[in-house]
Amino acid sequence: MTLAYLNGEFKPLAEASVNVLDRGFTFGDGVYEVMPVFNRMIFRFDEHVRRLENSLQAIYMTNPYAAEQWLSILQKLVSSVEQTEQSIYLQITRGVTDRDHAISLAKNPTIFAMSRAVEKKNFAAGINAITHEDIRWQYCAIKAITLLPSVLLRHKAKEQGASEAILIRDTYVTEGAASNVFICKDNKILTPPKNNHVLPGITRDLLIEILDKHNIAYAEMPVSEAALLAADEVWLTSSTWEIVPVVQLDNKPVGSGKPGPVWHTANLLYQKFKRSYCC
């Protein structure tokens, strides 16, 4: 039976519920993580916990558990799911208080986690994306549960037959609505640097680590909208998507209109790393 973890207890997911005065519900006052699970192993666990800690600190909260405690909770959730390929979702809100903005009222966080089976994805053919103004706030490095702009952006992409919106702020690429962006031009790989407009993606950082290890040239530098539109290849990274080639952007083909050779190499190395880690 698929279990959920809620405030110290494991229970069937369908039976887990929270108070309507939870600040996650009334204010979107909380943070979250999504961790991929391959072959029942939590991929890049330490990195995800570190980012969770940074997100909590940025909203004046502390991590309720040490990394080992998180690991034992999450492993129990993973064990409760039949399939080996999963995705963990965990969320910490500031807890239940009167509907009052003051954070000093909050005494006990609400801690929730679950793991769900994921379908094997096949992105080998690539996806379509649109560009859109980055309508989000100035604290995008925090993995906040307040995701209405991202939800609307994904919906706008869907309305135009695409799967993701690549966001532009002041003529520069920040990231996708729920992914990081890489481009490749004349075999040079570029990705926007991490700052307050970009979530420090775990997959992004791992890809950079892998490129580094294999002496494949890349640069973390601002990517203009013009450079994005002129790129030979565009890739998106996330824990759920891994590395996905964008083959159509704003209804125009990216490069040849097919996943490019540099993506093939990067993806192969990424998959190899994953297998060495999880199998």
Both tokens of 276, joined, read 């060495």
* The length of the chain, given as a count of residues: 279
CB of 222 to ligand PDD, least distance (A): 17
Residue with smaller CB distance to ligand PDD, 97 or 201: 201
Both tokens of 225, joined, read 């909208």
Residue with smaller CB distance to ligand PDD, 97 or 154: 154
Residue with smaller CB distance to ligand PDD, 65 or 89: 89
Closest CA relative to residue 34, chosen from 264, 241, 260: 241
d(CA 56, CA 256): 43
Closest CA relative to residue 145, chosen from 269, 64, 30: 30
Residue with smaller CB distance to ligand PDD, 95 or 201: 201
CB of 117 to ligand PDD, least distance (A): 15
Q: Is 143 a catalytic residue?
A: yes
Binding site for ligand PDD (CB under 6 A): 34, 175, 178-180, 199, 201-204, 237-240
The single residue listed with the structure tokens 């996806």 is 127
Candidate list 143, 158, 185, 188, residue with the active-site label:
143
Name the phi and psi angles at 252, rounded to 5. Answer: -120, 145
β-strand 188-191 against 41-42: which pairing, if any? unpaired
CB of 123 to ligand PDD, least distance (A): 14
CB of 104 to ligand PDD, least distance (A): 29
Active site residues: 143
